[in-house]
Amino acid sequence: MIEEIQISDLGVIGETTLELGPGFTVVTGETGAGKTMIVTALGLLLGARADAGSVRRGASSAVVEGRWHVPEHDAVADRVEDAGGTVEDGELILTRTVSAEGRSRATVGGRSAPVAVLGELADQLVTVHGQSDQIRLTSSTAQRSALDAFGGQALERALNRYVAAYDTWQQHAGDLESLTRDRDDRLAEAERLRAASDEIEAADPQPGEDVELADRSDRLGNLEELRLSAALAHEALSSESLDGVQDVVGLVESARRAIERVAGSDAQLQPVLEQLTELGIQATEASASLSSYIGSLEPDAGHDLELINERRALLAGLTRKYGETIDDVIAFGQRASDRLLELDGDDDRIQALQAALEQDEQALEAAATALTAARTKAAGDLAKRVTAELKTLAMAGATLVVEVTDAGEYRRHGRDQVSILLQPHSGTDPRPISKGASGGELSRVMLAIEVVMAGSTTVPTFVFDEVDAGVGGAAAIEIGRRLAKLAERTQVIVVTHLAQVAAFANNHLNVVKDASGAVTSSSVRRLEGEERLQEMARLLSGLGDSASGIEHARELLEVAGQQA
């Protein structure tokens, strides 16, 4: 809902504020006072094209700011956040600035944004009906969506069943097309994967085998040096020669015995004795370990190294093709096996998909037929009710026609083509509503449609400009009554020159020129009491102080159920 619009230097308007609110707001004023500029201002906030000619003469720019009340977690708030703006406490502020040179700038929720964002928000915030505005139901898509919304839960259930059947059909059809279209490629892929799988399976690599073989190769390549160094170390620890060379084990044992003989005379030597004893044990164990290591060295190292290098070369070939490490190769082999199972089952899958598609098409046909029947029923009801509304809006000879025809192909929304047409008079052919009526008639047609569809619409605000063009008397009263009925569910803003329409509003705004012909900041104000009576008298007779006009205005307010 629009709470307030501030306008600066737009057309004949210098500075003004429109305080709007829920229900039915009517805007009146003398010709040239700037009523149309209010609709222009709203259009700018909704992303309409900027025109430098709309900037007030002498001003550097025109500025329009609108304050909306919107739910904090609906689609509008989400789009504002996507654009970098914010909705605080349910308040959304949109601003549009147009320079005298024609440059345009927009802010959404306090942040600069492309003007296109305003256009995206417009469809969810306001619907404008006027002679120069694009009506809400121009496109076939919008007309179909409107009919579906009007059809209620029964049509919604039929549409949901159709969409589910359509999605299943599309999924299976896409899978089958992919399988048959890419069959040669899939066969070639299977051959490559089978060859790779066979090669990996024949080599039978083990996890970490490449690392282990590299260690063994390095060890065997340095075998003689390892053997010599180990023998020297073993000889130093525990010599087996008979030439009297003392080894570590013997020296440590001699030292231990020497200390052992005198340790009883001085307690401080006891720890030294224990250390020497432990050192002798460690030297003996190290000697034994070296002896075991020397014995474990392969006697035929050259042959073993040759075998290892051959294995490493085989594994290196695998890593060049299928992965950086043997673990990667093993993983590739597993994926290849899984993929081969899938590819080798193509024939079975094709047969299964063909069978599924036959069932899908039967289900889709049944769902489409049910959806068409639901839409046709809703179309008849919508046309009947809107036609009845038109008879009260000075269009007694007009008939609304809602056609549901076969589009010739399945689409996600059905196979129906929905067209809303207007037959202006009996004996004429129905035409698209945008072509079958004049500007004023078009607004009344849209009013009738919106009134009938009020219970199913999601648009929070409707703006009507020239809805009463060419209408007067009882028909004008009916227009006012229908607008008030629409305002029971949504916010309605109407620019009018008829007192019969204004009488039904709960919020009456008046645009007035000052002596210089320009609109000042006080030129738009809310009318109540005698001021409202005088304005309605002016609308009726052209004279705000006419006694008969005021009396007539009072009668209109009584008819509308308003209090002056």
What's 97's domain CATH number? Answer: 3.40.50.300
> Helix, strand or coil for residue 127?
strand
CB 443 within 8 A of CB 131: yes
> What per-residue confidence (pLDDT) applies to 558?
87
> What per-residue confidence (pLDDT) applies to 521?
46
1-5, 412-416, 510-514, 547-551: which has the minimum mean pLDDT?
510-514
Q: How many domains does the chain have?
A: 2
Best-predicted range by mean pLDDT (95-104, 271-280, 360-369, 453-462): 360-369
Question: Which candidate, 549, 512, 522, places its Cα nearest to that of 534?
Answer: 549
- Residue range 325-350: mean pLDDT, rounded: 83
**16: pLDDT confidence band, cut at 50, 70 and 90?**
confident
> What per-residue confidence (pLDDT) applies to 409?
93
- Residue 144 belongs to a domain: no
Residue 237 shares a structural domain with residue 123: no
55-59, 344-348, 507-511: which has the minimum mean pLDDT?
344-348
Q: Say if residue 99's pLDDT is above 80.
A: yes
Q: Checking phi first, is residue 11 left (phi over 0); if not, alpha (psi -120 to 50) or beta?
A: left
CB 237 within 8 A of CB 290: yes
Within its chain, how far is the Cα of 324 from the centroid?
40
Token digits of residue 289: 């370990």
> What per-residue confidence (pLDDT) applies to 133?
47
Which of 324, 351, 381 terminates a domain? The answer is 324
CB 79 within 8 A of CB 120: yes
What integer best gives the mean pLDDT of the chain?
A: 84
pLDDT, tens digit (0-9, with 9 covering 90-100), for 414-445: 999 999 998 988 888 898 877 766 666 777 78
- Residue 493 belongs to a domain: yes
DSSP 519: B
Quote the Cα angle for 302-300-314, to 5°.
45
> What per-residue confidence (pLDDT) applies to 49?
85
Token digits of residue 292: 């075991």
- Residue range 191-210: mean pLDDT, rounded: 88
Residue with tokens 């120069």: 132
- Greater confidence (392 vs 251) lies with 251
CB 93 within 8 A of CB 66: yes
Token digits of residue 195: 């060859």
- Residue range 261-277: mean pLDDT, rounded: 88
Q: Say if residue 301's pLDDT is above 70.
A: no
Q: Say if residue 149's pLDDT is above 50.
A: yes
- Residue 355 belongs to a domain: no
Q: Say if residue 349's pLDDT is above 70.
A: yes
Residue 221 shares a structural domain with residue 124: no
CB 386 within 8 A of CB 449: yes
pLDDT, tens digit (0-9, with 9 covering 90-100), for 211-239: 888 887 777 766 667 777 877 888 788 87
% of the chain exceeding 70 in pLDDT: 89
Residue-range definition of the domain harbouring residue 507: 1-130+466-526
- Residue 115 belongs to a domain: yes
- Greater confidence (442 vs 477) lies with 477
> What per-residue confidence (pLDDT) applies to 136?
59
Which of 324, 357, 376 terminates a domain? The answer is 324
- Greater confidence (336 vs 240) lies with 336
Within its chain, how far is the Cα of 243 from the centroid?
93
Q: Say if residue 518's pLDDT is above 70.
A: no
Stated as kind and residue range, the H or E segment containing 526 is: strand 524-526
Q: Say if residue 370's pLDDT is above 90.
A: yes
Residue 114 shares a structural domain with residue 218: no
Residue 315 CB-density burial (10 A; 0-12 exposed, 13-18 middle, 19+ buried):
buried
Which of 259, 289, 324 terminates a domain? The answer is 324
Residue 122 shares a structural domain with residue 235: no
- Residue 460 belongs to a domain: no
Q: Say if residue 196's pLDDT is above 60.
A: yes
- Residue range 102-114: mean pLDDT, rounded: 90
pTM of the model: 0.59
Rounded Cα–Cα distance for residues 477 and 502 (Å)? 9
- Residue 554 belongs to a domain: no
- Greater confidence (57 vs 404) lies with 404
Q: Which amino acid is at 352?
A: A
- Residue 480 belongs to a domain: yes
- Residue range 111-126: mean pLDDT, rounded: 88
377-381, 448-452, 508-512: which has the minimum mean pLDDT?
448-452
- Residue 194 belongs to a domain: no
Residues near 65 by Cβ (< 8 Å), separated by ≥ 6?
Answer: 5, 6, 93, 94, 95
